[in-house]
C-alpha cells in the first residue's frame, strides 16, 4: 500500500526513522524498480547548518524543499551524482530526508545495467554489495535525476510503499560528509538498519 501525504506531514526526525523498512518504487519505461530503504538522514531546514535551506535560503536549487510534504527534492553533488530526498513537515517549512541506502528487491537487472552495464547475475560480489549502498549509487540504479525534482511522491511514477513490517534494530548516529556544517555535523540525524549490508558506511 502506498504511503500517503499524512505520513510525510510530520516531524522530520520521526519521518527519517520511520522511512526505514519502507519501499521505494520507480515505474519507468514499463519496468518497476523496488527497494527497501535501509539508511536515511534528516535535514532540519532553517536551523540546521547542514541543510541547503539553512537560514531561509530560497534559491532555484532548493525550491522543492518549500513544497508539499511528500515531494521529491533531487540535487546534484560533486558535479557527478544526484541525491534523492523526501520533503517533510508542511508546505513552506524547508525540511527533508535524504535516502542514503536501499536494499534492492525488484528490477535488479535494470539497476545493474544502470550501474555497471551488465545484468545482475554477472556482477561480482563486490558490485552487488555496492549496487545501492549510497545516495549517488541508488540514484543511478533507480534512474533518479534532476528531472524528478519536485515530483509528487503520492503519484504513480515515483512513490513509497509500506514494507512487510519485519522487525529490525535502528541505529541513530551522526550524519556523514558534512564537516563544513560546524556544530550541525554532530547532530544525531542519521538512521540505519543495524547489520544491513546496503547501509552506505557501517
- DSSP letters for 108-174: HHHHHHHHHSS-GGGS-HHHHHTSSSSHHHHHHHTT--GGGTT-BTTSSSEEEE--------EEEE-
78: pLDDT strictly greater than 80:
no
Q: What is the mean pLDDT of residues 8-28?
A: 98
pTM of the predicted model, to two decimals?
Answer: 0.95
Q: What is the mean pLDDT of residues 32-47?
A: 95
- Distance in angstroms (rounded) separating the CA atoms of residues 87 and 73: 7
- What would the pLDDT profile of 49-71 be if each residue is shown by its tens digit? 878 887 878 888 889 999 999 99
45: pLDDT strictly greater than 90:
no
202: pLDDT strictly greater than 60:
no
Regarding predicted confidence, which is higher, 182 or 201?
182
What confidence score (pLDDT) does residue 59 get? Answer: 85
Which backbone phi and psi does 70 adopt, to 5 degrees?
90, 15
Q: Whole-number mean pLDDT of the chain? A: 94
- DSSP letters for 93-105: ---EEEEEEEEEE
Show me where the domains of the chain are located: 5-193
What confidence score (pLDDT) does residue 158 get? Answer: 98
Q: Please, which pLDDT band fits residue 87 given cuts at 50, 70 and 90?
A: very high
The end-to-end CA distance of the chain, in Å, is 30
Range with lowest mean pLDDT among 67-71, 74-78, 89-93: 74-78
CB 96 within 8 A of CB 29: no
| Range 5-193: architecture per CATH | Roll (3.10)
Residue 131 sits at the vertex; the CA angle it makes with 130 and 137, to the nearest 5 degrees, is 95
> What percent of the chain shows pLDDT beyond 70?
100
CB 84 within 8 A of CB 144: yes
- What would the pLDDT profile of 109-166 be if each residue is shown by its tens digit? 999 999 999 999 999 999 999 999 999 999 999 999 999 999 999 999 999 999 888 8
What confidence score (pLDDT) does residue 183 get? Answer: 82
Amino acid at each position: 500500500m502506498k504511503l500517503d501525504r499524512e505520513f510525510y506531514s510530520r516531524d522530520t526526525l520521526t519521518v527519517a526513522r520511520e522511512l526505514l523498512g519502507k519501499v521505494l518504487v520507480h515505474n519507468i519505461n514499463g519496468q518497476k524498480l523496488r527497494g527497501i530503504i535501509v539508511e536515511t538522514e534528516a535535514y532540519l531546514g532553517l536551523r540546521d547548518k547542514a541543510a541547503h535551506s539553512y537560514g531561509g535560503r530560497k534559491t532555484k536549487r532548493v525550491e522543492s524543499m518549500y513544497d508539499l510534504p511528500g515531494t521529491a527534492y533531487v540535487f546534484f553533488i560533486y558535479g557527478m551524482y544526484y541525491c534523492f530526498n523526501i520533503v517533510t513537515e508542511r508546505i513552506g517549512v524547508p525540511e527533508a530526508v535524504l535516502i542514503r541506502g536501499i536494499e534492492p528487491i525488484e528490477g535488479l537487472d535494470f539497476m545493474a545495467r544502470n550501474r555497471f552495464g551488465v545484468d545482475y547475475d554477472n556482477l561480482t560480489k563486490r558490485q552487488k554489495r555496492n549496487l545501492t549502498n549510497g545516495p549517488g549509487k541508488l540514484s543511478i540504479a533507480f534512474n533518479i535525476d534532476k528531472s524528478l525534482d519536485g515530483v509528487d511522491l503520492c503519484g504513480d511514477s515515483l512513490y513509497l510503499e509500506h514494507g512487510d513490517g519485519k522487525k529490525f534494530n535502528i541505529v541513530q548516529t551522526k550524519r556523514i560528509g558534512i564537516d563544513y556544517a560546524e556544530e550541525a555535523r554532530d547532530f544525531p540525524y542519521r538512521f540505519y538498519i543495524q547489520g544491513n549490508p546496503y547501509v552506505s558506511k557501517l
